[in-house]
């Protein structure tokens, strides 16, 4: 294999596939990057068994200035070393030349590196997923959907199914749900060009977080699902993820239907007050902040027996219901509020020990954040 390419454009593609490479993989070859050149272009592949990313650089891309002199393939490891070498090369372009013994020479201006490659035939094959049975989603909408829900996935492996986001499609309505048993985030959207299919799957939260790093330059992402894998196809990259096995719990029953106390207020103002209260709650043993709601005031309170006490009143708009005091983990509320951006939200409360709900002030039921209170007595 022999090719030359513009360094900056190659690094963009290399960065994409690096998100799938683990430096601690039990399969040694997966710590490397697979390069495969043919007459049409150069394909880079990275994988860690859970996710795989394949990115493509075409010879027709004038910005890349890619020239394939000899087709071929090689695996270079560790990926981190290869990336560092390319990053620090002195010229705008560099060349890669692989000899029959898998030794790979990387040259740029007066600099020359020779590293030992691995036969690419030993690299695991990517899942075979048919894109004929696929549908498309707007990238901006789907990326926002991921960011709004992935915050609530569990970090504990005791219940593996909760480490993922439950993604389902029924009658053209796409719904994403995540919960770690202490909080829940749910977002649903009605697809304009709804595909005539339905599914109910669970995608690891870590996979979706990595996927969002690729979804910048494209307007649409094509999605295809097999028995235990999902493929997200973008213009120059393909992202594969395994699916989690098992049935996701019925989360609809967790969302209260009747919320007698409701209050409307500015998202950023509440977020700032909770953030300030958490400065003291983080110094305590329990990390608890208290919210008190009456018809006359809304008050946030945080304290630490070792450090001190903070109390702050917040302006609010519409109020209905009864006086209520509720205690909660401030980090959960801060992360939930961050998904709403600017504008107003509505707090919906039932009782001191029942989960409370945060929704946009113009509530259409499409986006819900739910937090379970903490018992303090």
Read off the pLDDT of each residue in 199-228 and give the average, rounded to a whole number: 93
Q: Measured between alpha carbons, how far is 365 from 372 in angstroms, rounded to an integer? A: 19
Whether the per-residue pLDDT at 365 is higher than 80: the answer is: no
Q: Measured between alpha carbons, how far is 5 from 96 in angstroms, rounded to an integer? A: 9
Domain 2-122 indexed as CATH 1.20.1260.10: no
Please give the model's pTM, rounded to 2 decimal places.
0.93
Domain 135-252 indexed as CATH 3.30.1320.10: no
Residue 228 phi, psi (nearest 5): -135, 15
Domain 255-371 indexed as CATH 3.70.10.10: yes
When the pLDDT of each residue in the chain is averaged and rounded to a whole number, the result is 93
Same fold, 135-252 and 255-371: no
Tokens 């379970």 correspond to what residue? 372
Whether the per-residue pLDDT at 194 is higher than 80: the answer is: no
Whether the per-residue pLDDT at 195 is higher than 90: the answer is: no
Higher pLDDT, 111 or 296: 111
Q: Measured between alpha carbons, how far is 42 from 236 in angstroms, rounded to an integer? A: 11
pLDDT band at 217 (very low <50, low <70, confident <90, very high): confident
Whether the per-residue pLDDT at 130 is higher than 90: the answer is: no
pLDDT band at 32 (very low <50, low <70, confident <90, very high): very high
Identify the top-confidence range among 16-30, 182-196, 229-243. Answer: 229-243
By CB neighbour count within 10 A (0-12 exposed, 13-18 middle, 19+ buried), where does 361 fall?
A: middle
Q: Measured between alpha carbons, how far is 149 from 144 in angstroms, rounded to an integer? A: 9
Each domain of the chain, given as residue ranges in start order, spans 2-122, 135-252, 255-371
Read off the pLDDT of each residue in 156-185 and give the average, rounded to a whole number: 95
Whether the per-residue pLDDT at 193 is higher than 80: the answer is: no
- CA 245, chain centre distance (Å): 19
Lowest mean pLDDT among 3-7, 35-39, 106-110, 364-368: 364-368
Read off the pLDDT of each residue in 79-100 and give the average, rounded to a whole number: 96
Structure confidence at residue 377 (pLDDT) = 66
Q: What is the largest CA-CA distance in the chain?
A: 80
């Amino acid at each position: 294999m022999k090719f030359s390419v513009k360094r900056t454009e190659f690094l963009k593609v290399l960065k994409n596939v690096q998100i799938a490479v683990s430096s601690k993989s039990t399969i040694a070859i997966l710590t490397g990057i697979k390069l495969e050149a043919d007459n049409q272009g150069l394909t880079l592949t990275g994988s860690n068994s859970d996710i795989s990313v394949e990115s493509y650089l075409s010879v027709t891309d004038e910005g890349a200035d890619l020239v394939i002199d000899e087709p071929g393939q090689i695996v270079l490891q560790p990926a981190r070393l290869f990336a560092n070498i390319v990053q620090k090369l002195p010229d705008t372009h560099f060349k890669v030349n692989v000899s029959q013994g898998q030794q790979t020479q990387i040259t740029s201006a007066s600099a020359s590196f020779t590293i030992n490659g691995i036969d690419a035939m030993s690299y695991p094959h990517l899942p075979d997923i048919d894109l004929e049975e696929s549908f498309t989603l707007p990238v901006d909408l789907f990326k926002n959907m991921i960011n709004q829900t992935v915050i609530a996935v569990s970090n504990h492996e005791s219940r593996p199914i909760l480490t993922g986001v439950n993604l389902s499609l029924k009658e053209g309505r796409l719904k994403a749900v995540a919960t770690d048993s202490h909080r829940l985030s749910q977002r649903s959207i009605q697809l304009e060009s709804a595909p005539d299919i339905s599914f109910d799957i669970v995608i690891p939260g870590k996979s979706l977080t990595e996927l969002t790093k690729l979804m910048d330059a494209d307007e649409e992402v094509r999605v295809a699902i097999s028995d235990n894998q999902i493929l997200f196809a973008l213009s120059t990259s393909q992202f594969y993820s395994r699916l989690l096995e098992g049935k996701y719990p019925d989360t609809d029953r967790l969302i209260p239907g009747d919320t007698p106390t409701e209050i409307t207020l500015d998202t950023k103002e509440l977020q700032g007050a909770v953030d300030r209260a958490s400065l003291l709650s983080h110094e305590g043993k329990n990390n608890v902040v208290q919210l008190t709601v009456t018809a006359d005031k809304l008050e946030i309170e945080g304290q630490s027996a070792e450090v001190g006490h903070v109390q702050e009143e917040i302006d609010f708009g519409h109020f209905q219901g009864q006086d209520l005091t509720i205690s909660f983990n401030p980090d959960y509320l801060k992360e939930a509020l961050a998904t709403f951006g600017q504008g107003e939200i509505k707090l919906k409360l039932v009782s001191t020990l029942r989960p409370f709900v945060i929704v946009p002030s113009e509530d259409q039921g499409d986006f819900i954040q739910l937090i379970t209170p903490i018992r303090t007595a």
